Amino acid sequence: GGERARRRMEGAGREAPPRPRPRGGSPRQSGAKPRAGQRGGEPAEPGTARVFSLFLYLFLPCARCVFGVRYLGSGYTKAVYRALLNGSRAVALKAVDFGGHDVAGCVRQFAALGDCYRLAAYKLVKEMVLLQRLRHRNVLQLYGYCYQDSNDIPDTLTTITELGSPLEMIQLLQTSWEDRFRICLSLVRLLHYLAHSPLGSVTLLDFRPRQFVIVDGELKVTDLDDASIEESSCTSNSDCFMEFPARNFTLPCSVEGRCQNMNEKRNLYNAYRFFFTYLLPHSAPSSLRPLLDKIVNATGELHWGIDETAAQLERVLNLYKSGEYLQNTTRIPKTEYKRVPEAFIPDENYRCWPSYHHKGCLLSVFDVNEAMEICDSYSQCKAFVLTNQTTWTGRQLVFFKMASNPIVPDPDKITYVKVTG
């Protein structure tokens, strides 16, 4: 209460306050590092029940704008919560986890909660400032922040950000190539922006899938507390040594005494080893495989910088969206099909992989001819149904069926049935 309990809700577009002494967090949902002993799948509670009640106390004065606070997960420094902002928008709340590794270890050693809090909160403040300065569609959006006294610590900070879903690589491997390509394209667009950002070339020192989330199918970086804009200084090429688990690189030392493009190349190689090798070539259209393999190999050897990599991925996107990738394939259907407008086959599903529907074979196609080619390639396919739904690239979603009965009226669909005999 009183002056000590002052509270400020600021818009993300305003500059960071001059004296940030926070209380912050970045979670599993927002890419926090899992705490030791935490089970995979279910997040551990942040320390103790006392810590959780402390968080609720923190947000009690903000009840007019934040509702339904629910714990999501923790890392070494931060905890993340889900809440509703102004009763409608789902957001992520990040705050320093008082029971987390950083604060708890510091308190055990120095017995100074306030100082230990401020030390840990530096990461949250740094991340908040970077989220304000780095505005890009693949950077998590900062909606605001609030300060308020708590637990005898002045100006504890909570940030309010866009809410994303954790990036689960196992689940991604089971999705369509088109969706996996979108993740890689999002990442490359992000890295291109970071290489040319208003702050200079930004590198993500803690570059792992858990530092990213998915929002509406797009990849977004959420954890920026380990980002750096410092290019390593050097006196010779040997000072520009980058070490990774599988291999190492030595970059040139510039006449200005800086390792050339080290931030950019570090990001790019991490993108290769964590994302490209798993997501790009697997189950891609056969005519795109040579170009995709070239991209993977060039980034794995660091033959390309981010500019060339981004240009090549945009080329893949254009080939895919325009249908040019089909030009070297046979476009004459092997089988004759009967067109049945305003009709749908409700049953007769079979499973294929990868599919947009877990109980049926739902794929995207460029045009009707490609749908016919796909149906011809499946021995069990006897018909297919064009829907009025499209993917992020504008391709049409099509259900493939193993029989054509019964056919029912549906004004939004067109059915094609194989002609036999």
Q: Cα separations (Å) of 331 from 159, 372, 381, 401? A: 54, 9, 18, 21
Distance CA 349, CA 347 (A): 6
User: Is 148 exposed, middle or buried (CB count within 10 Å of its CB: 0-12, 13-18, 19+)?
Assistant: buried
Q: From residue 63, give the alpha-carbon distance in Å to each of 32, 57, 68, 86, 383.
A: 26, 10, 9, 9, 55
* Torsion sign (Cα): 89, 90, 93, 99: positive
Q: 3-state class of 154 per DSSP? A: strand
**Using CA atoms, how far apart are residues 158 and 150, in angstroms rounded to an integer?**
11
Q: How far apart are CA 212 and CA 196, in angstroms?
A: 20
Let me know: does 27 contact 72? Beta carbons within 8 Å.
Answer: yes
Candidate list 115, 152, 155, 206, residue with the active-site label: 206
Phi/psi region, residue 371 (left: phi>0; alpha: psi -120 to 50; beta: rest), is alpha
Q: Kindly give, in sequence order, each residue whose CB lies less than 8 Å from that of residue 295, ignoring residues fewer than 6 positions away.
A: 276, 280, 309, 312, 313, 316
Calculate the CA dihedral of residues 133, 136, 141, 144 and round it to 10 degrees.
Answer: 30
| Cα–Cα distance, 353 to 346 (Å, whole number) | 20
Give the three-class secondary structure for 210: helix
Q: Length of the chain in residues, anyone?
A: 421
149 catalytic, yes or no? no
- CA 223 to CA 210: how far, in whole Å? 9
Fill in the DSSP letter of residue 38. Answer: P
Active site residues per annotation: 206
